[in-house]
Amino acid sequence: MKRVLMLRHAEATPARGGPQDFERPLSERGRAEALAAARQIAASGLRVDRLLVSPAARTRETGAIVASELGAAQRVHFEPTLYPGTPESLWASLQQLPERVRCALLIGHNPALSALARQCRAAQPGAELPTAGFCLAGFPARVRWSALSPEDGSGLPLPG
């Protein structure tokens, strides 16, 4: 089975509008949220082969905290199309994964991330991932990443 763990970035400092949005760092609360999510993911025993991370400051910081907790810093890949992202651009990034990847962690932004989670049936209709919220979707192992579609997905509980 292929798995996609979708994680919304943790809480960022307040938006001031304009082009500075890209550079908003995590708030103090956000750093604690990211660490709590990272620890929960690590405790699940789920092995993440690739972290696809938006290049925005708040997702880079969330990704660094998670990668550190998972011992996966070398598996982080920054994907420019994930900021701000659309469900289609997130999906296109997943379709580029090499076949050796069994589990990918996608760290991005709402509303695109929640929309993708709903399309993959990993989140309930109308649900929005909160900051540092995550969900897991499973896909048939026999289908190549490049041929997968969100409709192939089903929600899974986090192991452990």
Q: What is the pLDDT of residue 143?
A: 94
**pLDDT value of position 44:** 96
Domains of the chain, start order: 2-11+22-156 (3.40.50.1240)
The pLDDT tens digits for 49-84 are 999 999 999 999 999 999 999 999 999 999 999 999
DSSP assignment string, the chain: -EEEEEEE--PBSPP-SGGGGGGPPBPHHHHHHHHHHHHHHHHHTPPPSEEEE-SSHHHHHHHHHHHHHHT-GGGEEE-GGGSS--HHHHHHHHHT--TT-SEEEEEE-TTHHHHHHHHTTSS-TT--PPTT-EEEEEE-TTS-GGG--GGG-EEEPPP-
Q: Does the pTM of the predicted model rise above 0.75? A: yes
pLDDT at res. 18: 65
Tell me the pLDDT tens digit for each residue of 3-47: 999 999 999 999 876 668 899 999 999 999 999 999 999 999 999
| Mean pLDDT of all residues in 97-120 | 97
Give me the pLDDT at residue 19, please.
65
